A and B are shown apart, each in its own frame.
Chain A
Amino acid sequence: MRFIVPLAIFIVLVVVLAVGLKLDPRYVPSPLIDKPAPEFSLTRLADPTAPIARADLLGRPLLLNVWASWCSACRVEHPLLVDLAQREGIEIIGLNYKDTRPDAAAWLKTHGDPYRDSIFDPDGKLGLDLGVYGVPETFVLDAQGVIRYKQVGPLTPDIWRDEIKPLLAQLKTDAP
């Protein structure tokens, strides 16, 4: 009987430490989930004279992918984005974060362009409003422009299959 208490403490400790080891310390839960995406007024990457604003993102659920030509992890997830856009017809808006137009355009030419539009955010102002801290990041916006999900770091086929695809399907049936 006398070993029950130390054993219980030991088991609790092992469980707590095991959970702690499995947690990703770089993951910061976003306070923006279920909040409306911030207002912005920027230009399109392809055309400095073409404005783009929050209203252009409304009407149907979509992915908002934060990327940059200087971001090496973006290269890792990019083939998946191209594949989603081409084969599954997923609507993806790019947010080109703290980049230059020539670099970004050349990068898209090399790696393929999965974006319906890319928002050009050279100063990272929209990035700041979106709480971006580790490019690439991917947001799921619903038809009303509310942020429903945020992925920090490269998108993987597993995350797509388990989290984002079901969420998009559900948002599409919810939308009027």
Chain B
Amino acid sequence: MKPLLRAMVLWLAVGVAQAADTPFEFQDAETERRYQKLAAELRCLVCQNQSLADSHADLAQDLRDEVYRMLNDGKTDEEIVGFLVERYGDFVLYRPPVAGITYLLWFGPLLLLAGAGVVWWRIGRAKAPVQPDADEAAAIAALTGHRNDPP
């Protein structure tokens, strides 16, 4: 139990250290919350599987600065996201809009699940027990000594 506890404490400490990485001063807690949310939802283009908040890439730092600057300028979340989408496309969003080309992205997994369901159902039907016909029933009766009339 002890090593597990130690690992959990260390892991928490890593989280705190990462949060402390943010060098910005916020005017109020609400702005900071909005900043953290935006940075977590925007994707870094250099290390593509990291958010702006996670990435140490130079570009991510620039974009964080930009988000911070726009927040201080009183821009809304939509304006900030729009600014980045105009320049980098939907790719910067971890939650792209549900429209046009992204339908497959959003609903593809459901489609796959439905396909898997159909296959599963068909396999289930194929494996349904087959009733013995008259000859087979007679053979079974002869072997087991029981009469077992076919339906």
Contact = CB atoms under 8 A, between A and B. Distances in A.
Interface stretch (A51-59, A83-91, A123-131, A159-167): A123-131
B46 A134 contact: yes
Given A128-B62, A134-B46, A28 B88 contact: yes
Nearest to B66: A128
19 contacts: A25-B48, A26-B48, A28-B45, A28-B89, A28-B91, A31-B85, A31-B86, A31-B90, A124-B62, A128-B62, A128-B66, A128-B87, A129-B87, A130-B87, A131-B87, A131-B89, A133-B45, A134-B45, A134-B46
Contacts of B45: 28, 133-134
Contacts of B63: 128
Interface residues of B, number: 15
A133 B59 contact: yes
A134 B44 CA distance: 12
Interface in A10-65: 25-26, 28-32
Interface string A111-127: 00000000000001000
Interface of A: 25-26, 28-32, 98, 124, 128-131, 133-134
A114 B49 CA distance: 36
A32 B62 contact: no
